[in-house]
Amino acid sequence: MGYRLSKIYTKTGDKGETGLADGRRVAKDHPRVEAMGELDNLNSQLGLLLADLADELASRPALGEIVEVLSPCQHRLFDLGGELAMPEYQALQEPEVERLEAAIDRWNEEVGPLKNFILPGGSRLVAQAHVCRSLARTAERRCQQLNAVEPLRPVGMAYVNRLSDLLFVAARLIARRTQVDEVLWQAAQKPAS
């Protein structure tokens, strides 16, 4: 494969616009660019989660399955970003959504039903999985905003939605497999009458 980026800066974005792969120039706050940026943000934080998980694998091999399921997600997020940058490009396919659903079902069975609301925390790994989950929701909202003005393929929308669900269950599974108590939400006490 040849070089994809021979020059990192082009100076063409200095006035608040960026170029899409189809040649269009759009404002840097255009819904398409916002959606691409949120997918990139999610992908970066997912990379941090995967690095943290990898650091724990030697002492906690039970985390290996989580790494195996989440690692391809970085590539698929990049694919989805590519679809947004090049609207004619179609990389993401339905079997990838089904792969996430299968992992959600498998993991959810292991962690059991949710009896209380939980908060992000308990350990750095659990908290980072929740950071990724919340960023997936933000990316989903940005994609929905774009979809309202420029329709997107349904598979991409479904993928980001399932990924946030997967990350929620992954956070719970990480807590279980690392024997960390989930942080349960405690309602504010009602004032005494």
Sign of the Cα pseudo-torsion (156, 108, 128, 134, in order): positive
pLDDT of residue 3: 47
Burial 19-29 (b: 16+ CB within 10 A, else e): ebeeeeeeeee
Residue 96 sits in which domain range? 25-183
What pLDDT sits at residue 17? 75
Is 61 a domain residue? yes
Q: What is the pLDDT of residue 4?
A: 60
**What pLDDT sits at residue 174?**
98
Q: Which of 38, 63, 39, 41 is nearest to 51 (CA)?
A: 63
pLDDT of residue 8: 59
Domain-embedded: residue 4: no
Q: How many CA atoms lie within 13 A of 172 on its CB side?
A: 21
**8 Å CB contact between 52 and 128:** yes
- Give the residue ranges of the chain where pLDDT is below 70: 1-15
> Structurally, how many domains does the chain consist of?
1
pLDDT in tens, 145-160: 999 999 999 999 999 9
Residue 37 in domain: yes
Q: What is the CATH number of the domain that holds 32?
A: 1.20.1200.10
Q: Is residue 10 assigned to a domain?
A: no
The model's pLDDT over 54-89, given as tens digits with 9 standing for 90+, comes to 999 999 999 999 999 999 999 999 999 999 998 888
**Token pair recorded at residue 26:** 């759009």
Q: Would you say residue 88 lies in a domain?
A: yes
Residue 20 lies in a domain: no
Cβ neighbours of 50 (radius 10 Å): 18
φ, ψ of residue 180 in degrees (nearest 5): -110, 130
Is 160 within the bounds of a domain?
Answer: yes
Question: Is residue 94 in some structural domain?
Answer: yes
